[in-house]
Amino acid sequence: MRRLPLVMRIGGPVLAIAMLPGAVSSLDGAAQEPGTVPPSWTGPVTRDAAPSVAGGLSAVVGPLSGLPACDVATASGLPLPTRAPRGPDPAGSWWRLDPILDESGWLAGQRLHVGRLTASGIPHAQHVFDLPAESFAAGPVAGRIVVGADDGSTSTLSMVDTGRSCRIEVATEPDIVRRAILAPDGQTVFEFRLARASRADLGIWRRDLTEPGGAAQVLGPLEDDERFGPTWTTELVLDGGGERLLVESCGERACRLRILDPATGAVTLHAEPGLGELVGVAAGRPFLRAACPGLPCPVLVLEEAGEPRIVVEAAGSAVLADGPDGTRLLVESPDGRHVLAIDTASGAVMRSAVLDPGMRLVPAPSRSLSGVEIPAASGHAARSGMAAPDGRIGDGTPLRVLDPALPALSDLEEVIR
Amino acid sequence: MIAIATFAARAGRLTTAALLVVMGSATLVGVSVAPARAHSPDPVFSGSIWEKGRALTFDWKSGQVPPSQLQTAILAAAADSNRSNGSRAATFSRAIGSSNPVAYGVSVTCGVNGIACFTRNPPTGFTVSFREQGHRFDWGLLAWCQMYTTPPNGCFDAENIALDELGHVEILNHHVNYSDGSDYTDAVVQTVSRAKPSAGYNAHQYGRCDVAALQLMYDVPSWSAPYSTCLDLVTTLTLSSSASSITAGTSIGFTAVLKVADNSAYRELRINPLSSRSVVLQRRPVGSTSWTTVGTVAVASGSGTYTLKTSPTATYEWRAVFSKPAAEGLRASISPTLTVRVASCTTSPCPLSGLGS
């Protein structure tokens, strides 16, 4: 376990008494936050006074430097995995990001927990990393968690191999790598990048981990569309087999979705101002939220042909889960007390389960800032509906599974056994 | 087993145009038929409303307590909402231990793109969440104005954003603006949040079109309360007299009743009595085309009722007139005409003539 100095946990919230390197460069009063800005944004945002940093912070060489490097071959300086993952970490793996706040409530960094599941299916943190504010995590895919961290001058892309408890340094980039995901083949990483000075969209890039050399752009920047305004967030999702990359670009209210076939380069754009966040993909069809300011909110499906179809009119958190009868849409009832399994074709409620107080359906990693991969040996579907405290995977917290074929939520342990 | 009476799950196809209307599970309210147009009341969500006048409480979420500056802004927004809702909407206040959490930081209820978000589920409860100061979006860094001694341009006013969220909790969806945004300040509950120094970025009371929707959904707080100018409600005015014929010089009482018209689109405002307005009584000789104002009809004790006594000396046609108020969304109305016949006095002593109207 590695922690940066001068960071401590005080009570429930994560507080830092010092700014992390990435945060210092962007939040310090003497620095300017680079970036494109909303239409009404007229100048850089700085804080009144930089927080005191007792003793200063030493430079960090890679955000995961406290973790031993995996035994990897290198070619032209590019670290390569020794083997392509063949399936999930047998124990299952997970991660979670939490904001690190300074005593004033400013985001000073992000704390990443990564780990495996215990024999009884409880997430257990193996490692904790304090990352700059501009950081992300994705996966796990075959026990590997992609970690991106930007220190204000360089973005570092790494992976944690939970099974071997080691790190793989993937790349450092002068551009801001805002998001990255690992494809199911374990060898391909897709990245979304921004220009460092302007934060302009630089498009989507693909990196082959088995080949030396850098990444190549596979999708250009998203064109401006005044109906959507500036892009607030961009998220990457691969469909089940990894054949198609879904790029979700959300304005303040609505989202645009580009679907890329990396093999052919073909791109399909969905740009309807009524569409919101991506929930997931089933049988090649994207399921999305309507563009809602809050919950409950409808869930829609984009059919191969024709107009979007409402699957559920009023849903809380929503995810797709696979079962023996096919894929089901799992949604929280608006009162948050139940999880319902809904037939994606008919909209009929097939099953329901009571959520214990405090437990919520775990939505996509982009919302929950957490992710989990269930052990393959459990015989359970790789894509399962999970319930956890506050809807987020967490260290030592119970994790319950809603199998669309089962009548109720089960402890993960029961499912594994 | 789950009771899913309130849980709507159905399959249905949407046209692209319909999808725009469905956004946010909203229905459109207003005195005119959808689609929404600018300067009309905010659209509203399709869910239930809170009990009218219900006192809702909230408390800071354990482990995700907002910084003190944001706490102050959120509490101020609650007061703003209570003060400016112009309706019988729910009120908000902080109560320690409340089951309705207000959080700061990560919340699974927030979309990836929001700076704040909410859940609402009347009558059970609600949540509100705010992104942390310094949260990174693709365009840059989120800044709350309240976190600065001298707020920089580009910051978002937390009190304004909190008021927007509380409006959502009530039932309001985003206002539909003119394409040029010239009516932006008609609503706080907006799709696009404005940062300092754009007009409206620090509005601390509901806009008139927020209030209009709240009034339609929750009713007005009293019969004398003003109606939002974002409404354009038809009114009805009736006039009756204590007698249809009198002897000259005899006193007669006129009673006018002013109401909001009976129109289902007016929702809770339908056939509301309208008290404390200005209603005048007019008369004209039978056959004449010009009316003379007799006087302002006094407000009576009954709801929306106005009375005036007079002693006409000749036969007249009478009517009551309600002129459109400059500061209310009510249309003018005129009562149907009634005739009061006045007979000459034939037996002495006659009532004094010439003293009546």
The pLDDT value given to residue B80: 98
Last residue of a domain, one of A221, A254, A273: A221
Query: A113: which chain B residues are within 8 Å (Cβ-Cβ)?
Result: none
Neighbours of A83 (CB within 10 A): 10
CB–CB of B108 and A292 under 8 A?
no
| CB distance B92 to B53 below 8 Å | no
CB–CB of A290 and B106 under 8 A?
no
Indicate the average pLDDT of chain A: 79
What is the extent of the structural domain holding A398? Answer: 316-417
Residues in CB range of B92: below 8 A, 6 or more apart = B56, B57, B58, B78, B81, B82, B166, B169
* Statement to judge: residues A325 and A213 lie in one domain: no
| CB distance A273 to A227 below 8 Å | yes
* Statement to judge: residues A216 and A348 lie in one domain: no
* Statement to judge: residues A321 and A211 lie in one domain: no
Determine contact: B16 vs chain A, CB below 8 A: yes
| A105-134 tens-digit pLDDT | 999 999 999 999 888 888 999 999 999 999
Q: How far is residue A219's CA from residue A242's CA, in Å, rounded to a whole number?
A: 16
Q: What are all long-range contacts of A73-79, with beta carbons under 8 Å and residues at least 24 apart?
A: A75/A212, A76/A212, A76/A213, A77/A212, A78/A171, A78/A209, A78/A211, A78/A212, A78/A213, A79/A168, A79/A169, A79/A170
* Statement to judge: residues A28 and A142 lie in one domain: yes
The highest-level CATH class for domain B237-343 is: mainly beta
Provide the 8-state DSSP code for A377. G
* ipTM associated with this complex: 0.84
Q: Is the pLDDT of residue A345 over 90?
A: no
CB–CB of A48 and B141 under 8 A?
no
Last residue of a domain, one of A166, A193, A221: A221
Q: Which residue of B has its CA nearest to A255?
A: B113
Domain ranges (residues) in chain B: 22-218, 237-343
CB–CB of B119 and A336 under 8 A?
yes
Q: Which residue of B has its CA nearest to A312?
A: B9
- Total number of domains in chain A: 2
Determine contact: B5 vs chain A, CB below 8 A: no
- What is the band of A28 on the pLDDT scale with cuts at 50, 70, 90? very low
Q: Is the pLDDT of residue A241 over 90?
A: no
* Statement to judge: residues A185 and A326 lie in one domain: no
| A147 belongs to a structural domain | yes
What is the architecture of the domain spanning B22-218? Answer: 3-Layer(aba) Sandwich (3.40)
The residues in B 99-158 lying below 8 A from A, measured between CB atoms, are 104-114, 117-121, 124, 132-141, 143, 147-150, 152-155
The sheet with strand A266-270 has its strands ordered as: A233-238, A245-250, A255-261, A266-270
CB–CB of A36 and B22 under 8 A?
no
The pLDDT value given to residue A344: 85
Q: Is the pLDDT of residue A416 over 60?
A: no
Q: How far is CA B281 from CA B284, B314, B318, B335, B336, in A?
A: 11, 16, 7, 10, 12
Q: Is the pLDDT of residue A63 over 80?
A: no
Residues in CB range of A381: below 8 A, 6 or more apart = A321, A322, A323, A403
What is the Cβ-side half-sphere exposure of residue B140, based on CA atoms within 13 angstroms? Answer: 23
CB–CB of A33 and B140 under 8 A?
yes
Determine contact: B48 vs chain A, CB below 8 A: no
The pLDDT value given to residue B109: 82
Indicate the average pLDDT of chain B: 87
What average pLDDT does this structure show over A215-226? 95
Residue type, position A202, single letter:
L
What DSSP letter does each residue of A295-361 carry, written as one string? BSEEEEE--SSSS-EEEEEEESSEEEEEETTEEEEEEE-TTSSEEEEEETTT--EEEEEEPPTTEEE
The pLDDT value given to residue B62: 94
Query: B62: which chain A residues are within 8 Å (Cβ-Cβ)?
Result: 12
Q: Which residue of A has its CA nearest to B123?
A: A335
- What is the band of B37 on the pLDDT scale with cuts at 50, 70, 90? low
Element (H, E) at A164: none
The pLDDT value given to residue B228: 97
Q: Which residue of B has its CA nearest to A277?
A: B111
Query: A155: which chain B residues are within 8 Å (Cβ-Cβ)?
Result: none
Residue with token string 């100048």: A43
Query: B153: which chain A residues are within 8 Å (Cβ-Cβ)?
Result: 41-43
CB–CB of A314 and B147 under 8 A?
no
Q: How far is residue B144's CA from residue B263's CA, in Å, rounded to a whole number?
A: 43
Q: How far is residue B80's CA from residue B35's CA, in Å, rounded to a whole number?
A: 30
The four Cα atoms A297, A303, A308, A311 give a dihedral, to 10 degrees, of -40
Last residue of a domain, one of A221, A240, A273: A221
Which of B4, B112, B172, B190 is the best substitution to test chain A (most A C-beta atoms within 10 A)?
B112
CB–CB of A232 and B12 under 8 A?
no
Residues in CB range of A374: below 8 A, 6 or more apart = A88, A92, A117, A380, A382, A384, A401, A412, A415, A416
Q: Which residue of A has its CA nearest to B3?
A: A338
Q: Is the pLDDT of residue A10 over 50?
A: no
| B143-197 tens-digit pLDDT | 999 999 999 999 999 999 999 999 999 999 999 888 888 899 999 999 889 999 9
Determine contact: B6 vs chain A, CB below 8 A: yes
* Statement to judge: residues A204 and A327 lie in one domain: no
- What is the band of A385 on the pLDDT scale with cuts at 50, 70, 90? confident
Q: Is the pLDDT of residue A94 over 90?
A: yes
Q: What's the pTM value of the predicted model, to 2 decimals? A: 0.85
| B74-116 tens-digit pLDDT | 999 999 999 999 999 999 999 999 999 999 998 888 888 889 9
The pLDDT value given to residue B34: 36
| B324-355 tens-digit pLDDT | 999 999 999 999 999 999 987 666 666 554 44
Neighbours of A197 (CB within 10 A): 11
Residue type, position A341, single letter:
A
Residues in CB range of B302: below 8 A, 6 or more apart = B257, B273
